[in-house]
Structure 1
């Protein structure tokens, strides 16, 4: 004879999304644009009768952005370990990743922190990206207990049910590949018993994790 909890656990996996599959979709989607730009730059270089400096600059910027995003993904979606990541490394990665976008990320933290701790901040930033398709200024601070992320923008896209996922015990079954970070962050913070706080309006968002 099973109790209600056993039945709920048995039904849970059927209704929750496959985060691994969604993650693969997310990684492929986000790498298409910078790598595609590299291809465009090469095409221009092949057709250009000049010295190709402008085209080479486009290729270099796109490659830097693609490599920075891969480094960022390794922190956000890779295993959390005790290995340390410096503030300088984080700033360089974020500057290169967002350099060609309308978003600016200001990393205020000066400490070296473990990959496990940086993972939380990076996952939170990928959540913020969903709300800032038109660009924003994002400030990342670390207080004694949590990461505090402030977002200011002329316009934000806030999907309330999606953000509520971060504090929910159950993930929505219709979670998209572009939203997989919400599911991963929600599960990780529950495992670590880290409370999550979100407040937002049309132009401001604050995320504490």
Structure 2
């Protein structure tokens, strides 16, 4: 998995986008790919030398795997999404599973068809919004009904901030968010670009989202 995720980080950057946030994200991910790759190569050398099972080597391996998966997720969710490129279901599942592996969140990408990357970008951002509502982890499932997508989240506890989630509604005012919650603003902007409406429903243990 490391080689696939690292290859995603070093995909060609696009310098024709007017989205400065996407360009900055792509630049950071691209520049971090080399040091992450060097660390991954070092871990492989440790494995070949027969010391991969010592605690220090295990910690190093787990850390570089998590960092690589996180950066690959950010590369798609925050970077520039080429409308001519598509994402296969297996690739989406791998990116999401790797990103949330250490966060006690199990996610199922139950979409059988390839989808344009701008749409995948929106869905990845919305999955990250779901993560914000899950302080103790949980389960997230994505289903497709024609052109409509449903995100269902089930957890021991789901936290709901009406003002924050309200920003995703059509014609909502621009929210005031911190850096930790910037994915809500990016999801709002991306849904507007794609002409998608988002509705959200909460209970104490569930979060349901419809993207039309």
Q: TM-score, normalised by structure 1?
A: 0.72
Give the C-alpha shift of residue 70 in structure 1: 1.1
Distance across 2 between alignment mates of 1:76 and 1:147: 17
Q: 1:66 to 1:169 in 2, by over 3 A?
A: same
Matches within 5 A, 1:150-189: 150-167=152-169, 168-172=171-175, 174-189=176-191
Distance across 2 between alignment mates of 1:116 and 1:206: 22
Matches within 5 A, 1:1-209: 20=21, 51=51, 53=53, 54-81=55-82, 82-167=84-169, 168-172=171-175, 174-209=176-211
Give the C-alpha shift of residue 144 in structure 1: 1.1
1:152-185 Cα deviation digits (max 9, x unpaired): 000011111100000143212x311111111111
Larger radius of gyration: 1
Distance across 1 between alignment mates of 2:191 and 2:103: 29
- Is the contact made by 1:64 and 1:97 (CA closer than 8 Å) also made in structure 2? no
Q: Which residue of 1 aligns with 2:3?
A: none
Residue 94 of structure 1: SS of its match in structure 2?
helix
- Is the contact made by 1:85 and 1:118 (CA closer than 8 Å) also made in structure 2? yes
- Greater shift, 136-145 or 182-191, is seen at 182-191
Q: TM-score, normalised by structure 2?
A: 0.71
Give the C-alpha shift of residue 51 in structure 1: 4.1
Question: Gaps spanning 5+ residues in structure 2: where?
Answer: 1-19
Number of residue equivalences: 170
1:59-98 Cα deviation digits (max 9, x unpaired): 2222112111111111111122121211111112222222
Give the C-alpha shift of residue 142 in structure 1: 2.0
- Is the contact made by 2:138 and 2:156 (CA closer than 8 Å) also made in structure 1? yes
RMSD: 2.7
Distance across 2 between alignment mates of 1:73 and 1:203: 27
Give the C-alpha shift of residue 52 in structure 1: 5.7
Question: Gaps spanning 5+ residues in structure 1: where?
Answer: 1-18
**Structure with the greater relative contact order (CA < 8 A, sep ≥ 6): 1 or 2?**
1
- Is the contact made by 2:129 and 2:184 (CA closer than 8 Å) also made in structure 1? yes
